[in-house]
Structures are given as C-alpha cells and as structure tokens.
Structure 1
Amino acid sequence: MATQASAANTWAEARNDAMGGTGVAAANYGSAAFINPALLAKAQPEDDITVILPSVSAQITDKDNLRDEIDDINDRIDYYDDVVDNLTVRDILLNPVGTLDQFQGAATELADKLDYLRGKTASANAAAGVTVAIPNDVLSVAFIAKGYAHARVSTSIDSQDITYLRGIQNSETTALIEAGRGALLGSDEITRNLNSVAFGRVAIVSDYGVALAHQFDFGGVPVSFGVTPKIQKTWLYNYTASIYDYDTGDWNSSRYRKDDTGFNVDAGIAADFGQNWTVGLTGQNLVSRDLDTKSIEIRNGRTGEVTNYKDTYQISPIVTAGVAWHNDLVTVTADGDLTETKGFKSEGNSQFVGVGAEVRPLDWLAVRAGFRGDVKDNESNVFTAGVGFAPFNRVHLDLTGLVGEDETWGAGAQLSL
C-alpha cells in the first residue's frame, strides 16, 4: 500500500471489475452481497450455494515513482550528512576549491530532488472478499467478509529548504560559511535547516455482515430488495515524518495507528423489465462516519515551532444506479455514482461512471471489457478487460486486468465454487 493500488469500489469482484467496475444491475447472485444485495434474490431454480473464496484486486498508479523518489532522497540526505560530517577546518583552509565543490554538489543534488517532489502525490486502493450465498425462494441469505484499503503518499516541500540549498549551490561565500559551521558544529547544525515533510495515510476498512434479499411482484414486474447489516472495523495510519527520515517500513507502527469499530448497512433494489432488462440502485455505507487519525507532532528545526498533523477519513454513503441488457450470449451494462466517493479530507472526492460488456461464446468461457472514469477527474480513467473460465459450471475462475492514464496498471482474480 505504500505505492498506489487503486480500485473505485469498496469491493473486489473480478467479473464486474473487468466490465468497467459495474455490477449494480449485472452482478451474479453469488457476488451480489459485494455490490447490490438485492441481486441475491435473482438466483435461478437450478442455482445452488455459491462460495467465493477469495476475490482480490489491486491497481497501481504512480506516474512520478513517488515512493522510490522519497526513498532516494534519504540516500541523498545521508550523502549530504556524510559530506558535512567529513568537513574539517583544515580541509577548508588547505583545499577550499575541492572541499566546497563537493559540498555544493551535494546541496545541488538534494535541492533538485526537492524541486522534483514538490506537489507530487500517489494514492492507493485495494480490495478483497469472501462470501457464501444461499439462494432461497422465501429469503436468500449471504454471509460476507470483505475489506478495502485506501492509501495516499504526499509531500509538503518547505520552500525555505530549497532556498537554503540553492544558496549553498550558487554562492561560494555562503557555501564557505555553511561549510565552516558544519565543520565546527557537525551535520545536525546544517540539516536542522531542512524541514520538508512526507505523509503516508492509510485507511483499512473491513466489513462482516449478513445479506438478506427477497423478490416481490408488482404488477407483473419482479422487484427485489436486499439489505446487508454489518460490523465495520477500521484501522487508520497517519505516518508523518521529515522527508529526510521517511521510511515506508514504519507505516504500520502502532505509534501511527488508530482503530475503531462501528455499525453500518448496505441496501439495494433491482427490477426486471421483460426478459432482457434489469435496473438497479444500491447504497453502500449508509451510516456516515468521520474518523480522525492520530495526531503526529513535527518540530521545525529552524524555528522551533511544533506542528500537529492529522487527517479525517470519511465513510459516507455511496449511491449508485445501474442498468443492464442481457441474454444467453451477451450482457451490456452501465453504472453511475449518484454521490461522491470520499476518503481522507486532505484529498479530492471522486464520482465514477462505468460501462462494460460480457460475451459468452461457450458454456465455459466468458470474455469481458469495459471503461471506468471519474467525472471529478481526481482518479485515473481506466480500460478494463478479463476472461472467465467455468469448467463443468462448478468451478469458476475469473481474471481481470486494467490499464489507464498516469501509468496505471491493475489486476484481479476470483475463485468461485
């Protein structure tokens, strides 16, 4: 999660992920508890208990290679410290040109890195889940356990860091003065002037619930209703550190972690119009919850001021409408969010639309493709594709992949019985 692994949804379902992340009107009854619990009631008489164990997905977007760049700046600051620690008054007096050249070169490299990192971010989502769906004419039931994670890496580059380093780079007099201070007082006296900060924010949300669904008849139109009450466990990480000490291995330290347990609920409705059309509406996380991260203090070495850094992760209702046309050979579907998808308050919201199709040329083979876009333009737009294999119509293996703008790549897999 230190890089970006982004999925638009709070669920992973390889078939529908391959169809542009759709599924509100097109999901199978076996995976309905992930997407729209009302579709759980759409099982056919010949359908049996379905077990998904597991479904997983991840998407990587990091066009600026931010994690490696932050790791690299640690190497640069180590080199800078070594240069300063090795400075001596004798070297400065006897070999001022060579000594200052090395010092100025180290300052230049570090300033260039900070310039590159200014304003860069990477964010991440991933999801996984298991479910057992039991169809029934009276009340269909599914047991569900799923989790999704959102992560974001960002930087706050202090412009005075760059000004300070450029001063050493461009002025031999400044370099001589700072080199002398470093030789007499050590590298700490120099690096206290560097106060840029890097942030690693992670939210991991796990749901454990029971989906219930039933189908009614309204004037000859089959209409299904479903609801999923669930326990929701959340872990929040606020890894905030000087960019010069940043270590992705420290993300999961309890020092930066805060957890919470609460209640939430999903609900959905689906209706069939004729033999080929289905429309659906689903609402996930209908109970809004704002959860604060731990507060992390960072002291500015230059001014002595202490800044408290914290964020708030927002779990809010996500309402999505969908429509699907289907027959024995083809399914074509589209979904659109009616509400925004929120995350940390420090980042922008998203609102997704998706279209997709599935063709089943053989009883045991399905081919899928789709597109998912963010109308708020805060997440990468992606093209999706996948295949499904179903030997003997008992074991189902679904695979999906995606590619999109900003160096976005992703994959997912699902095993169903």
Structure 2
Amino acid sequence: MKFNKVIFPLLAVATPLTTNAMTAFDTRSVGMGGTGVASANYLTSSFHNPALSAAYSERDSFGMILPMVGARVHDGNNTIDKLDDFQDLDGNLGSNPSEEELEQWRNALRDLDNGTVNAEANLGMVFAIPNRYLSTNFFVKSQASVIAAFDIDENDLTLDDPANSELNSRGQAIGGATVDVGFTFGKEFELNDKPLYLGISPKYQRIFAINYIEAVDDFDDEDFDWADEYVEKSAFNIDIGAAYKLNDKTMVGLTGRNLFRQTLKANPQHGMDATYIVNPEYVLGVAHNRGWVNLAADVDLNAKKYFKEYGYKTQYARLGVEFDAWGWSQLRMGYMHSMTDYADDLATLGLGFRPFGLLGIDLGAQVGKDDNYGVSAQMTLTF
C-alpha cells in the first residue's frame, strides 16, 4: 500500500524512540475512555495528573511501566484505498487512453478530493518511587500526530492525455511529535481534614515537525529524504496538577499540561507551510472508587489543535468504568464523546491481568465509525 510508505515513515521520523506508537494516555486509561485526571494511580500520574503521584497505598514502594505502546488511525473516507486505486489506474494508463479508461481515471481522481487520514502514535515508560516525603516518578513520553489531506485541481479532470501531463492535484502529509523526558513530584497536604494532593512535572521536551507535498500520482516516499527534511528543536515545559479527596471513595482532579506554548515550523514544500503546535491543555476529572468498581469522568476544558494551518482539533468528554476482581484481573469500558466536528465518538474496551498484584499486562482498544481504530498495550511491575 503506497500510502503507508508516507504515514509510517512520518511516524518513525517524528518519534525516534519507536516506529509505531499512541496518544498521551496509558493503556488502562485507553480502556476506560481516556479518563485519568482523578482516576489514575501513582504509576500513571505522569501521563494524566502529577498530583496523583502522591496518592498511593501503604503497600506501594516502587513501580514501573516498561513499555507502554499504542497507535490509532482514522481513515473516514477510505482515502488509503482510494489513493491506491487511483495510482493503479494512473500507472496502467497509456498514451492514448480510451474514453472509458479516462472516465475511470477521472472518477478515481474525484474520489480523492478532500480526503483525509489522521494517525496518532505513542510510547511511554515510567519508574516511580512513592513516599511520604516527596513522591517521585521518572518518565519518558513520546507522542506523534500525522494528518494527510488531498486537494484535486479541476483542470486535471479535463486532461485528455494524463500520462504525458503534469498533475496539479496534490497530497500533503504533515507530522509533528513531542518527546518528553522529565520527573514528576507529588506531595500530600491536608485541607478541611481531607487529603489534598499537589504535583508538578518539569520536563525536557524535543519537538519534531515534517511537511511532505507531492502530486497525487507520485505521492509516496521514494523521492523524499525523511531524515534530512524533518526539523526539530528543544524546549522546557511543565505539567501541573491538583487532586482533592472529597471522601473515602470520591476524588476530583484538575491538571494543566504543557503550560508553555511551543511552535515549530516544518520544512517548506512548494511554497506551503506547516507549523506544529504544542498548546496548553486543561482537563477536569472526577472518580468514584468502591473497590470492585471504579467510575471516572474527564472533560477537556479547551480544544487541542495540532497544526496552525489546519483547522483540525480535538476536545473530548470522557466516561470510564473498571471492574476489579480481587486485584488479579480487570475489565474496563468507556466512551469518548467528541466536542468538535473534526473527530468522532469512540467506544473503548480494556483488560488487565495482574496475578499476585505484581507483574501486570494491560490491553486496550478504541473503535469508532468510519475506520477509526486504536490499540494499546503496556507491562507494569509494582511492589
């Protein structure tokens, strides 16, 4: 599939730590609809809310996630198949095509107009040492996003000899990524005789961006040097968070991620720019834990935009539930409601296996309409 020659090299360049990885959520969260601001544990706090690094039980002394990987692709218009079909027809088109061949070629080209594909990828790891003095996590989190879109020039649809003509119809793939390396620090305080948790995650951030534009008949990576074309920069950023335990079973949380806005202009292509954006994100959450069942809800307080030149942005309201069988196995379900027109709702499902409460394996999946799929997996160790 020629289109995959573009998408996957973009992810590989943008995220040096992995070739295919998912969004900024751990696998447990993926299964629970992306929740975590109030429902994450001390081990996954670095991905959701730094304050929860201080919310641990007395039996916890060390934990790690190594690794967490995942990926999601949304091809709502079957754009990948349409591009392959068009390029097959275009490659077989002779110098003197029949009217029937021309009509098939034109219809295939029309089908590509305004077609889009977006993909996300993620890799993470955490080493955590919870304690009553200052709970500390070391974490690495790598996240990549790619958007590909196609614009068809009407003049191309009037060509009588496409095989010997240069097409003006273009495809553009833009990719951006962040690699965060940092520490999470959390501390428990007391407010109105209830636990108040505060946390911060200072982090070194590497940002990557790449821009690829080509005529639709040549839209692949054979003539593009990915390693030479992507741009990068280093930055410093901070996540902060707070969580308050209303009672023995209910927690509320608020977090702000990437408080320092960052931008990176990708390599220019054919006079068209692409600028990757790392914007602050604010999320509010609540969780109710009754031991055998954990309920959670999160809402994004602002939309997340990925590229300055594209309107594409995401914002979700999330619901999740986890059923726990004596700490040995977990069943998770959730739902993500999109609050923008650029993304669809997602249903989620997850499984956890933690024999003896030590070594754990988590699996998670997302599914939405129109070829919108995501998967995630992680391994944990706690004692």
Q: After the TM superposition, which residues 12-411 of structure 1 pair with which residues of structure 2 at under 5 Å, given as runs?
A: 12-80=25-93, 83-84=94-95, 102-162=97-157, 164-165=158-159, 168=160, 190-192=164-166, 194-248=167-221, 253-297=226-270, 308-345=271-308, 346-411=310-375
Q: Distance in 2 between matches of 1:248 and 1:399?
A: 32
Runs of 4+ in 1 over 4 A off after TM superposition: 1-5, 248-252
- Which residue number corresponds to residue 14 of structure 2? none
- Given that 1:314 and 1:343 are in contact with CA atoms closer than 8 Å, whether structure 2 keeps it comes out as yes
- Given that 1:32 and 1:40 are in contact with CA atoms closer than 8 Å, whether structure 2 keeps it comes out as yes
**Deviation by residue 1:43-67 (Cα, 9 ceiling, x = unmatched):** 1111121010011121222133322
> Counting helix residues as a fraction of each chain, which structure ranks higher?
1
Tell me how many residue pairs correspond in the alignment: 364
Offset of residue 3 of structure 1: 5.5
Residue 271 to residue 252, structure 1, CA distance change in 2 (3 Å): farther
Q: Distance in 2 between matches of 1:382 and 1:352?
A: 10
- Between stretches 395-404 and 279-288, larger displacement belongs to 395-404
- Given that 1:12 and 1:128 are in contact with CA atoms closer than 8 Å, whether structure 2 keeps it comes out as no
Offset of residue 251 of structure 1: 6.5
- Given that 1:71 and 1:247 are in contact with CA atoms closer than 8 Å, whether structure 2 keeps it comes out as no
Offset of residue 211 of structure 1: 0.7
Offset of residue 206 of structure 1: 0.6
Match for 1:113: what amino acid? A
- Between stretches 269-278 and 343-352, larger displacement belongs to 343-352
- Contiguous gaps of at least 5 residues in structure 2: 12-21
- Given that 2:208 and 2:264 are in contact with CA atoms closer than 8 Å, whether structure 1 keeps it comes out as no
Residue 284 to residue 64, structure 1, CA distance change in 2 (3 Å): same
Offset of residue 248 of structure 1: 4.5
- Given that 1:3 and 1:67 are in contact with CA atoms closer than 8 Å, whether structure 2 keeps it comes out as no
Q: Distance in 2 between matches of 1:264 and 1:416?
A: 26
Offset of residue 344 of structure 1: 1.1
**Deviation by residue 1:109-132 (Cα, 9 ceiling, x = unmatched):** 221111101111111111110010
**Deviation by residue 1:171-192 (Cα, 9 ceiling, x = unmatched):** xxxxxxx6xxx9xxxx5xx313
- Given that 2:61 and 2:131 are in contact with CA atoms closer than 8 Å, whether structure 1 keeps it comes out as no
Offset of residue 25 of structure 1: 0.0
Match for 1:340: what amino acid? A
Offset of residue 363 of structure 1: 2.8
> SS of 2:88's equivalent?
helix
Q: Distance in 1 between matches of 2:359 and 2:223?
A: 40
Q: Percent identity?
A: 31
- Which residue number corresponds to residue 415 of structure 1? 379
Residue 20 to residue 51, structure 1, CA distance change in 2 (3 Å): same
